[in-house]
Amino acid sequence: MEIKTARLVLRPLGLWALPAVHRYAADPENTRYMFFGKKQTEAETAAFLSAVEAEWEKETPAFYEFALTLAGSPIGAVSVYLDESRSEGELGWILDRRYHRKGYAFEAAEAAVRFAREALGVRRITAHCDTRNTPSYKLMEKLGMRRVSTGPRLYPQTGELAEEYTYIL
C-alpha cells in the first residue's frame, strides 16, 4: 500500500527503515514532546519496527504506521491508531528535525486523515500534544481540528508532568 502526496510517498513502516527511524527516534531534541520519548538503543527501535510490521500483516490492523519517504528516503512517520469500534482514530506524527518547517508533516497528516476517512471509515479523529509544542498544535489547527480540552500529560519514560491539548476533527 502506498499513499502519494505532492512531494511524499507514505508506505508501511518497517525494519527496512531502521537506520533513518533510529536517527530521529533517538534524537532527544526531535523527540522532546513525543509521549513515549526517545528510543534508547537501535535494538529498541528495531523491536518497535518489528511490531509495526507484524501489525501490517494482520487482516484488520489496529493501527497503521506509515513511513514518510522523500525521494525514496524515510524522513518521518505518520500513524492512525483505531479504537475498538474502528470509528475513531488517533492521529500522530514525527518528522526528522532536518525536515521541519517545510510542510511535510502537514502534507503527511492530511493524507493520513484522508486515508482514515475514506479507506477505514473513521468518523472522528483525535490528536494530542504537549501545550509547549506549538508546531504540533498549529498543524492540528491547519488540518481543521479544534481544541476540545487541556489536561495533564505524564511522560512514562521520564515521569515529567506537563499539560496536553486534545484536538478533534
Q: Where are the domains positioned within the chain?
A: 3-127
139, β-bridge pairs: none
Q: What is the residue whose three cell numbers read 502519494?
A: 4
pLDDT digits (tens, 9 = 90+) for 50-88: 999 999 999 999 999 999 999 999 999 999 999 999 999
**What pTM does this model have?**
0.93
Contact (CB, 8 A) for 78 and 108: yes
Three-class DSSP category at 99: helix
At residue 140, the pLDDT reads 98
What's the mean per-residue pLDDT of the chain?
Answer: 95
Q: Which amino acid is at 29?
A: E
Which tens digit of pLDDT belongs to each residue from 11-60?
999 999 999 999 999 999 988 888 877 777 999 999 999 999 999 999 99
Q: Rounded to the nearest 5 degrees, what angle is found at the Cα of 165, between the Cα atoms of 164 and 166?
A: 120
CATH architecture of 3-127: 3-Layer(aba) Sandwich (3.40)
3-4, strands of its sheet edge to edge: 3-4, 9-12, 63-70, 73-82, 88-95, 124-130, 161-168, 146-154
> Which pLDDT score is estimated for 157?
84
Q: Nearest-CA neighbor of 147 among 162, 134, 160?
A: 134
Mean pLDDT of 161-166: 97
- Give the model's pLDDT for residue 158: 87
